[in-house]
Amino acid sequence: MPLAPRLAACLLLPLLAACATANAPPAVDDGLRGLVTRMPARIGDFELQESAPNKASDTAWTLRYLHAPSGTVASVMLSTPGQPSVPDGPNSPQVQNIVNALSLGVQAAAGGAGLTRMPDFAAARAGRAPEVRCTDLRLQPPQGLLQRVVVCATGVADTLMAVSLVARHPPEAGDAARVFMTSFVLQVVDALQAPGGAAPAAIDPIQPATGSGRVFRL
């Protein structure tokens, strides 16, 4: 299996392990279902491909989106881990742990193939405090397209949201690709925060706010 699809498949594994609890409820709770219904079938040029509860945990749900023009795959993972509840925003230990867990899954899938993890960073709309915590993993081949995974997470309504995007692009398009991917993540946050399933607001692809430029420690 090519590396990019293998990375996409492995992204789910550490999340499922992290979300499984000894006291998992027997069915997906209403709060989680309510958040899932806020997710639109289309976010920009990303189209929903799959939406289902995770078989390994009754407290988690995964939605997979595809950006057909570029082949970028985005996995949106929602989980309600119970106590302690997840505070809103990107600063909680739960958010840091899931970013690290998903990043380790990507590194394991790469099998030591020269993957570089950049320092964690904050992303937000212009004028707002940091909304998500992200990390950027890159596999630079000797020639050809850069293979890249951006993982972001935050807390929304007592729910842990994690988004993983797998993309390939020319090495010189690095900054534009990061803007493209974090813009999708911020639209997911908008969708989850919007009452009544309102469509997420479009985000200027040239100005996804990087917040204060704060870099989180690993």
Number of domains in the chain: 1
Q: How far apart are CA 63 and CA 74, in angstroms?
A: 8
Within a domain: 9: yes
In a domain, 178, yes or no: yes
Asked if the structure places residue 17 within a domain, the reply is yes
Domain hosting 196: range is: 3-21+42-216
Average pLDDT of span 38-65? 91
Q: Quick: pLDDT tens for 148-200.
A: 899 999 999 889 999 999 998 888 887 888 889 999 999 999 999 876 545 55
The per-residue pLDDT for 137 is: 92
161: in domain: yes
pLDDT, tens digit, 9 for 90 and up, residues 72-119: 999 999 998 777 789 999 999 999 999 999 999 988 887 766 788 999
State how far the Cα of 110 lies from the Cα of 158, in Å rounded to an integer: 32
* Residue 33 belongs to a domain: no
Residue 35 lies in a domain: no
- Residue 29 belongs to some domain of the structure: no
* Residue 27 pLDDT > 70: no
In a domain, 30, yes or no: no
The domain spanning residue 51 has which CATH number? 3.40.1000
